[in-house]
A and B are shown apart, each in its own frame.
Chain A
């Protein structure tokens, strides 16, 4: 979230799209009801299904799954054509005026530089035009045909209300009604919040969907302001913390990135990440990358990380390719990955194409399961009849099951969607032989290290030199790790302005990342968490909910990264002179000598607004980008591509270019491409989702939840039910080109047939929660059906759009 849960109560318009907050985030949804009850907010829900969120919405519009870029692109077009933009904001705080290189081009769904054989782009033309001073050229008049404003306007002219009706199946009047409501927030005193979740991320163009929505918010001046923002609702407890702490295979902590195999030089690694300002007097905060990186390396390797060995740069693996979930299972399926430690993860249920997962896991030599529950993955080798029809005799994988404690059975911090690190305390002892994940990992590590110390190896240094300063090496405590990721001074830190003054003594915890240094005198395991356990103690444990601002800015409750800031980019809530756009919802302001207010300023604290520093300090431009440059795989402006399994034969936006039917920059493994189904055989658009009664594949093990939703079901619309002679309560078989499931049919008015490209299209809704383990009635894993393809950037699987066939059993 750019903003935070409580801030949603300040919204005037709430858009829930690409998510179903009432269903999946019922507790956070209270802030939507609060906005409606006490801020006269209006709620808009756009979804293929009439959801629990839609049940309390003011306006609901249906949309075909996977077509959100068409809808949002047409909103952009509407806002630009009707001049419903916050002009002061966009001209000062975005790249509207920036000029783009002359050789940048876009035609029939493809950007310049496409390589059809590699399914990827040479992105060199996706860049601004630079002047002789080294800075980007601009045209404040916005008249230049290659300024971002003009290019964007041109790009989205094809995205019309008629195109929305044709591609998304959304009635034109509903679309225009929603545009009008959104446009009402173009004034500085109104704000719209956008709440989304896996309904946007789990598409082959998921990242671009989110970007399109962010562009809408920028046009309306809704980023950085109270009641606004792009608010990703994180699901699985601590999935926010997972990305923050760098558990993605390409990340280090705090969104620093692992080097690629071509980046053998430490200096180059830093130089390509410490972006230099692209406009005069811009902060470009990533210039401090080396301070974060060196402090991180000191936290991990301690004294073994020295200036001489480039702070242990050689200890880091250099990636030849991404090793995301799909890539890993592909390697497993090829027989190139032989062992798998599966920690708090149930991939047989949670990864696409269960058939491929079964085959892949069967090729492992060993599989270690760390989980509080007996997961499906841990018994992938056992025959559960039709629900898991395997022959155990053919499977030689050795499975070790290590029972872990649950979050409530240990101390630690969880990071919520609001980016708050909230400390929690152990509530009970774990049952039986269960141990904490820390204890299990500590035990594995100390034994591995002993083996490497005794036997050596090709390059044992990263393991034997790892700093492991915990009181009980086999079982580090959550408190020790928290102090480590927050960070401390390793030497006395002198005041840069007065070398005789010591600002922080050696061994003291640091107050924030501004204290980090690149000379090895500080250590911080995750720079964005720096200060969470500061000199005054554990700020994550704070529970002061006082709110002097009256707008939900409880800054003494827990710790929000970065720097305890609650609303990111909050400098943009003030006009260029430093005065709040909306005096009623004031976050910060310039008082003549400093920035301050109800939030921690996301800006240089003493920067006079007269000097023109932009509010988006992490970008070298200083402003927000409509033109995404080279940052995403598909191109600088989001463009609609059909899901990999689409009911359409051609992309209505680029009908003449077959390469532009699906995401041209997505990575698809050859066998998986063959496993895609065609609409002739699988005519219905399917989507998977969660129910409020259950949490993933966990709570089917819990009796209370099993009582509330005991048995697997799929949802189909009245019209499809009639067509196939299926009534509510009948059993149906749903098949894709990869397998089938059987379940009870819920026939409902909430899934209505859509008119798409001149044809009637039915959606099939598939809740995911059942499986062959647990207390609920045994069922099929929904991911038996889903395609093995991910987003072009994040590689998040396309669970939300695929093709199926429904039959009565």
Chain B
């Protein structure tokens, strides 16, 4: 079945069943592979993202680094992050990482979101925000182990990379992939991207990068945006890419284990009320109760 299917697999804060009549995506869904070892930090991906998605961030300032804009924002869904690292041998490395949504298989944002249908996960793996349903609570930020979503000050809604779900829906690659001049960004089925990564890792090992590897963290069920890293043993070298990302325990407990209990408790309360009504009947007052209450009130007023 085609990868561009936009069948929804999961929706935030919704219990009704997702449609599953159509055959779901093959090849493990879609994936973007970011080869940090081929990336030259040219920011063509940032431009392509802004152009395709009609985004224009502020013309900012320079804070003493190449990274611009300074951080992800509601108008900057992807960003090159630059890190200067000295190897134990004394050689310098300039590790450049394209940051943005990782499109987790187990998306913390979706789990945390309390607004029905504001965050969805498609059958091909893309995690998308439907801002018209967003209430701006910011739980998605808490839920994200990669600190990706940003809330706009203007419309108080959360934004992030869509993996160009609109382009993918019609069989095109995401805009950043199209713009990348060096082939550091590639796109396809997740299975194919893993094969491509394996070839790259072999090449890197031949160049002395013994710990070259693929970043597809299991803690979030794997991701649909993966990295080839020279130092897969030290992801934090790449501008604090998490070593072993997990959904925040608060979200996990609150939306995971606690949720059925909470729902059960709410159900039990309602049920108890119902049975009370059936067996005891409604709570009603008659004229005698009212007169007794008036007498009590008068006595209290006369008391010194």
Give the total of B residues in contact with A, Cβ under 8 Å: 41
Judged by a CB distance under 8 angstroms, whether A745 is at the interface is yes
- Tell me if B44 and A707 are in contact (CB < 8 A): no
CB of B180 to closest CB in A, whole Å: 9
Q: How far is the CA of A29 from the CA of B197 in the complex (A)?
A: 20
Which A residues lie within 8 Å of B92 (CB)? 50, 60, 749-750, 752
Which A residues lie within 8 Å of B207 (CB)? 42, 58
Judged by a CB distance under 8 angstroms, whether A55 is at the interface is yes
**In the complex where A692-B43, A777-B59 touch, is A33 in contact with B64 (Cβ < 8 A)?**
no
Nearest chain-B residue to A56 (Cβ)?
B40
Q: Mark A28-62, 1 if CB is under 8 A from B, else 0.
A: 01100110110010100000001011111010100
- Tell me if A50 and B40 are in contact (CB < 8 A): no
Judged by a CB distance under 8 angstroms, whether A775 is at the interface is yes
Judged by a CB distance under 8 angstroms, whether A713 is at the interface is yes
Q: How far is the CA of A42 from the CA of B206 in the complex (A)?
A: 11
Q: Mark A49-82, 1 if CB is under 8 A from B, else 0.
A: 0101111101010000000000000000000000
Q: Which of A27, A33, A40, A709 has the most CB of B within 10 A?
A: A33
Q: How far is the CA of A54 from the CA of B39 in the complex (A)?
A: 11
Cβ contacts A to B, 23 pairs, < 8 Å: A22-B40, A22-B42, A23-B40, A26-B40, A26-B181, A30-B183, A40-B203, A52-B40, A52-B42, A55-B93, A55-B95, A56-B40, A704-B50, A706-B59, A708-B43, A710-B59, A710-B61, A730-B64, A746-B64, A747-B64, A748-B84, A749-B84, A777-B61
Judged by a CB distance under 8 angstroms, whether A729 is at the interface is yes
Judged by a CB distance under 8 angstroms, whether A693 is at the interface is yes
The number of residue pairs between A and B whose CB atoms lie closer than 8 Å in the complex comes to 121
Nearest chain-A residue to B37 (Cβ)?
A56
Q: Which of B42, B58, B203 has the most CB of A within 10 A?
A: B42
Judged by a CB distance under 8 angstroms, whether B68 is at the interface is yes
CB of B205 to closest CB in A, whole Å: 12
Judged by a CB distance under 8 angstroms, whether A703 is at the interface is yes
**In the complex where A30-B183, A33-B182 touch, is A711 in contact with B61 (Cβ < 8 A)?**
yes
- Tell me if B51 and A749 are in contact (CB < 8 A): no
Which A residues lie within 8 Å of B183 (CB)? 30, 33-34, 37
Judged by a CB distance under 8 angstroms, whether A728 is at the interface is yes
- Tell me if A745 and B64 are in contact (CB < 8 A): yes
- Tell me if B46 and A708 are in contact (CB < 8 A): yes
Judged by a CB distance under 8 angstroms, whether A239 is at the interface is no
Q: How far is the CA of A729 from the CA of B95 in the complex (A)?
A: 20
Judged by a CB distance under 8 angstroms, whether A776 is at the interface is yes
Q: Which 10 A/B pairs are nearest by Cβ-Cβ distance?
A: A728-B64, A729-B64, A55-B94, A22-B40, A711-B62, A26-B42, A744-B62, A749-B84, A27-B181, A692-B42
Interface set of B (CB-CB < 8 Å, partner A): 37-44, 46-47, 50-51, 56-66, 68-69, 84, 86, 91-96, 181-184, 200, 203, 206-207
Judged by a CB distance under 8 angstroms, whether A388 is at the interface is no
Q: How far is the CA of A23 from the CA of B41 in the complex (A)?
A: 9
**In the complex where A56-B38, A60-B92, A749-B92 touch, is A704 in contact with B47 (Cβ < 8 A)?**
yes
- Tell me if B59 and A776 are in contact (CB < 8 A): yes
CB of A386 to closest CB in B, whole Å: 18
**In the complex where A26-B42, A58-B207, A60-B91 touch, is A710 in contact with B62 (Cβ < 8 A)?**
yes
Judged by a CB distance under 8 angstroms, whether A783 is at the interface is no
Q: Which of B46, B56, B68, B86 has the most CB of A within 10 A?
A: B68
Q: Which of A55, A728, A730, A744 has the most CB of B within 10 A?
A: A55
Judged by a CB distance under 8 angstroms, whether A181 is at the interface is no
Q: Which of A22, A705, A708 has the most CB of B within 10 A?
A: A708
CB of A6 to closest CB in B, whole Å: 14
Which A residues lie within 8 Å of B50 (CB)? 704, 707
Nearest chain-A residue to B182 (Cβ)?
A33
CB of A559 to closest CB in B, whole Å: 24
Q: How far is the CA of A26 from the CA of B184 in the complex (A)?
A: 12
- Tell me if B64 and A30 are in contact (CB < 8 A): no
Which A residues lie within 8 Å of B56 (CB)? 703-704, 707
Which A residues lie within 8 Å of B91 (CB)? 60
- Tell me if A52 and B41 are in contact (CB < 8 A): yes
Which A residues lie within 8 Å of B39 (CB)? 56
Which A residues lie within 8 Å of B200 (CB)? 37
Which residues 543-563 of A sit at the B interface, judged by CB distance below 8 A? none
- Tell me if A707 and B58 are in contact (CB < 8 A): yes
Judged by a CB distance under 8 angstroms, whether A736 is at the interface is no
- Tell me if A750 and B40 are in contact (CB < 8 A): no
- Tell me if A693 and B62 are in contact (CB < 8 A): no
- Tell me if A54 and B182 are in contact (CB < 8 A): no
Nearest chain-B residue to A728 (Cβ)?
B64
